[in-house]
Amino acid sequence: MLKVIGNDSIPIPYTWVAVEGATARITDETGIVSLGPAKHKVLTVSVRRIGYQPWYGKLEMPDTAATLTLMLPRVVQQIAGVTVTGRAMASHLELTGFYDRWLQRQKGSLSATFIGPEEIERRSPARTSDLLAGLNGVSLIQGKHGEWCVAAYGTGGLCFMTILVDGNVLRPTFRKCNLGALMGGAGALEGPDINEVLDPADLAGVEIYARGANMPVKLQGVDNACGVMAIWTGSRH
């Protein structure tokens, strides 16, 4: 186990932790994440949380069930002194249940791919399609005029995934892909140009459920025959 704390000794929940290039995980509400059966091993670990200095290095795992503690210094901004009274507010991703579903996925009760704000910051995509390229189960289809649409293989072959933006279905607008035309056949199955409607600077988190995956109830009220991609926008901080 690894526990991530700030320099004030307070645990940091939802910290992005990647071990030796494996799929990233996040810490739970107590700042703890399992690194798997890695007793008496030296692991190369990358740890990130927006608002804190990232950490990259090697961790020597003890030959016991002890929990290692890692401290991330908070990024300090020099501003004039002010007095603030109030309580910390939950982030948009917390309020939408994004982190709860990610933790469920880590426990095996959901099948999904998650991209959190730390990974979006790390990759700094120039276009939204750049962030989605290469994801398992996702196919990017380029239209005749340079548009990019998100597709997958459904029950009847290649089809467009349902895309939710902050819980609302994203519809094709001016620039769109026509799947029938692209494949040389009939039909007018159209998907939205992901780059036309979503600026990567606005992205806070992404979760992807392949066709047939055990999706949360919140996302099952849409046509999910070809899978669902839920995109959350807003501040990443």
Which structure tokens are listed for 174? 């001016």
Decide which of 3.40.640.10, 3.30.420.40, 1.10.275.10, 2.60.40.1120 is the CATH code for 2-74.
2.60.40.1120
| pTM assigned to the model | 0.81
Closest CA to 45 of 19, 15, 81, 71: 19
pLDDT score recorded for residue 85: 47
The 3-class SS string of 169-231 reads: ECCCCCCEEEHHHHCCCCCCCEEECHHHHCCHHHEEEEEEECCCCCCCHHHCCCCCCCCEEEE
Per-residue pLDDT of the chain (237 residues; tens, 9 = 90+): 889 999 999 999 999 999 887 789 999 999 999 887 766 688 899 999 999 999 999 988 777 777 889 999 998 764 555 554 444 556 889 988 999 999 999 998 888 899 999 999 999 999 998 998 888 778 888 777 777 888 777 656 777 888 889 988 887 666 667 665 555 444 456 778 888 888 999 999 999 988 766 777 777 656 667 788 899 998 877
Integer CA distances (angstroms), 1 to 17, 28, 52, 64, in order: 12, 11, 20, 10
Q: What is the CATH number of domain 94-233?
A: 2.170.130.10
As given in the structure block, the two tokens for residue 46 are 């990358």
- Beta bridge partners, 206, equal 115, 231
Confirm whether 2-74 and 94-233 share one CATH topology.
no
Rounded-to-integer distance, Cα 154 and Cα 215, Å: 15
The 10 Å CB-count burial string (b at 16+, else e) for 149-158 is: bbbbebeeee
Q: What ranges do the domains of the chain cover?
A: 2-74, 94-233
**Residues linked to residue 113 through DSSP beta bridges, in sequence order:** 208
Both tokens of 103, joined, read 């933790």
